[in-house]
């Protein structure tokens, strides 16, 4: 194969993944889950599937499990943990948000990051997110997977696994 043709093919393949190389699979997976609802408290078929991906039984908080499950569905290596702070190792922390990045919200009463989700779109003063175990009010103990708008100043930390 000619060198120029090989580079052209690589550029064409990369163009299939918009937004700075975010695997479209990840975007497709997390957006496809919007609308999933718990059946009971931190339970239900899909919620338990998310929890199973991090070896936790039903009844546990599942925002981090949702993030891990989505990455695993696309074959993206990520820590296997349902503990939100574990999604922010130093080597994965970034300062500029991109689509598909993981965001963390710090809770003073917990003394740590206690809610996570995905950055889906970046707007002037806020992020459009997709996150599990939240609700219409943005709580960290909600009833489903929602798309939300979060002020940028609410986001404490970002990580990139893709």
Q: What number is the average pLDDT over the span 4-14?
A: 41
CA pair distance 13, 15, nearest whole angstrom: 5
Question: Are 134 and 115 in contact, with CB atoms under 8 Å apart?
Answer: yes
**Number of domains, the chain:** 1
Residue 88 in domain:
yes
Q: 64: closest CA among 139, 120, 115?
A: 115
Residue 78 in domain:
yes
Residue 6 in domain:
no
Q: What is the CATH number of the domain that holds 134?
A: 3.90.1720.10
Per-residue pLDDT tens for 110-126? 999 999 999 999 999 99
Going through the chain in order, the beta strands assigned E by DSSP cover: 93-94, 102-107, 112-122, 126-134, 144-151, 157-159
- Give residue 127's pLDDT band: very low, low, confident or very high (50, 70, 90): very high
Query: What pLDDT sits at residue 140?
Result: 87
Domain coverage including residue 30: 19-159
Residue 10 in domain:
no
Residue 12 in domain:
no
Residue 77 in domain:
yes
Q: 55: closest CA among 41, 45, 65?
A: 65
Per-residue pLDDT tens for 40-94? 999 999 999 999 999 999 999 999 999 999 999 999 999 999 999 999 999 999 9
């Amino acid at each position: 194969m000619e060198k120029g043709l090989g580079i052209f093919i690589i550029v064409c393949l990369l163009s299939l993944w918009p937004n700075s190389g975010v695997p479209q699979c990840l975007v497709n997976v997390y957006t496809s889950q919007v609308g999933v609802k718990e059946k009971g408290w931190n339970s239900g078929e899909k919620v338990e599937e998310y929890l199973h991906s991090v070896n936790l039984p039903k009844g546990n908080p599942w925002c981090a499990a949702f993030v891990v499950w989505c990455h695993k569905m696309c074959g993206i290596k990520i820590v296997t943990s349902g503990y939100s702070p574990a999604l922010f190792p130093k080597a994965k922390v970034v300062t500029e948000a991109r689509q598909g990045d993981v965001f963390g919200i710090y809770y003073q009463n917990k003394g740590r990051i206690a809610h996570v989700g995905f950055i889906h779109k970046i707007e002037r003063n806020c992020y459009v997110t997709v996150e599990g175990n939240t609700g219409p009010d943005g709580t960290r103990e909600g009833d489903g997977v929602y798309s939300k708008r979060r002020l940028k100043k609410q986001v404490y930390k970002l990580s990139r696994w893709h």
